[in-house]
A = this chain, B = another copy of it.
Amino acid sequence: MSVAYRPSHADATYDMKYGVRSVQGGGRSSARETIGRVAAGAVAKKILKLYAGTEVLAYVSQVYKVVLPEVVVDHDSLSLDQIESNIVRCPDPEYAEKMIAAIDAVRVKGDSVGGVVTCIGLGSPVFDKLEAELAKAAMSLPATKGFEFGSGFAGTFLSGSEHNDEFYTNEHGRIRTRTNRSGGIQGGISNGEIINLRIAFKPTSTIGRKQHTVTRDKKETELIARGRHDPCVVPRAVPMVEAMVALVLMDQLMAQYSQSYLFPINSDLQEPLAIPRLEAAKASV
C-alpha cells in the first residue's frame, strides 16, 4: 500500500493534484476530518431544538442488499435511542440483525459494502434554497455517491397527478399536505412537513482482496490491503449526516432572522409592516 494506489480511494487523486502522498490513515482525505463537523453539529442540534423546535435524526436505511422498507420506520415517533440501540444504527432490530450479518459476510472475504443513510428534520423552519445547501453539505462527506430528498429518483417514474402533495387544512387551522413526496421542501423553501433525504455511500475502497493497480511511478502491480479497514462505513456516517444537516439548518435559521424577521410582511396587504422599528427596539432591550 505504500507504493501502490488503492483503487477508487482518494490517495491517487490527492497525489496527482498536490504531489504529496500520505498513506497512513488516508491522510487529509480520511473521514477522521469529520470530527469537527460532528462537534459543531452537536451544538447546532441543541440550538435548533431550543430556538426552532427542530430535531435532526439520521439512520441507516440500507446496507448492501439489505433494504429497510420505508413503512417500517415511523418518522413521527422515531427517537435517537431507537437508532442508537444497535451497532449499525438501524431503528428496526430485525433489519439491524440482517445488516450486521451482511457486513460480517463481506468482512470475512476481505471485501466491503456501502449503503444509504436516511435523515429527517422535524419541525417548521422556512428557508431559502434548502435542498441545494443540503445536497452540498451531504456530498461533502467522504464516500458519498448520491443525494435525494422526498420522492427522489423514484419520483421520476410517477406522473404529476400521482406525485403532487395535495394540501388540506388541519384541525389547528394549519396548512399541511396529505402526502410528503416533496420531502418537506417546495421551491427551495421548507413547508413544515418532515424533511427527509437519502444519501448513498459507496463500499469502502480499501479491501483485503487482490486488485490490479499502478504505483506512483506508473508501474502496474497488484494490491492486497492489510490492516484494520472498516468493511462498511455507513453506520459511522449517521452522526456525520446529522451534523451536516443540523449545520445547514442552523445557517438557514440565522438567515431567516436577518431577512424575514428583520423585514416582517403584512401578509394580507402584501406590504412591509409599518411598525418594525418598535419591534426592533423591543427586541434590543
Q: Which residues of A contact B (CB under 8 A)?
A: 5, 7-21, 29, 47, 50-53, 62, 64-65, 106, 111-116, 124, 126-129, 131-140, 142, 144-153, 155-169, 173, 175, 177-178, 181-183, 186-191, 198, 200-207, 209, 211-214, 218-220, 231, 253-267, 270, 276-277, 280-281, 283-284
Min Cβ gap A128→B in Å is 7
Decide: A17 near B177, CB < 8 A? Known: A133-B136, A161-B111.
no
Decide: A284 near B258, CB < 8 A? Known: A160-B207, A209-B161, A266-B19.
no
Which listed residue, B9, B131, B164, touches A8 by the CB 8 Å rule?
A: B164
Contact between A16 and B191, CB atoms less than 8 A apart: yes
Decide: A262 near B270, CB < 8 A? Known: A50-B277, A188-B29.
no
Decide: A167 near B258, CB < 8 A? Known: A145-B149, A211-B161.
no
Which listed residue, B65, B148, B156, B214, touches A64 by the CB 8 Å rule?
A: B156
Contact between A202 and B20, CB atoms less than 8 A apart: no
Contact between A126 and B163, CB atoms less than 8 A apart: no
Chain A contact residues, majority secondary structure: mixed
Contact between A145 and B135, CB atoms less than 8 A apart: no
Instruction: Name which of A129, A132, A137, A144 has the most chain B CB atoms within 10 A of its CB.
Output: A132
Residues on B with beta carbons closer than 8 Å to the beta carbon of A50: 276-277
Residues on B with beta carbons closer than 8 Å to the beta carbon of A191: 12-13, 16
Residues on B with beta carbons closer than 8 Å to the beta carbon of A138: 135
Residues on B with beta carbons closer than 8 Å to the beta carbon of A198: 153
Residues on B with beta carbons closer than 8 Å to the beta carbon of A256: 258
A218 to B171, CA, bound (A): 11
A206 to B164, CA, bound (A): 9
Which listed residue, B162, B200, B204, B213, touches A156 by the CB 8 Å rule?
A: B200
Instruction: Name which of A157, A187, A218, A253 has the most chain B CB atoms within 10 A of its CB.
Output: A187
Contact between B7 and A203, CB atoms less than 8 A apart: no
Which listed residue, B29, B124, B186, B260, touches A18 by the CB 8 Å rule?
A: B260
Min Cβ gap A275→B in Å is 10
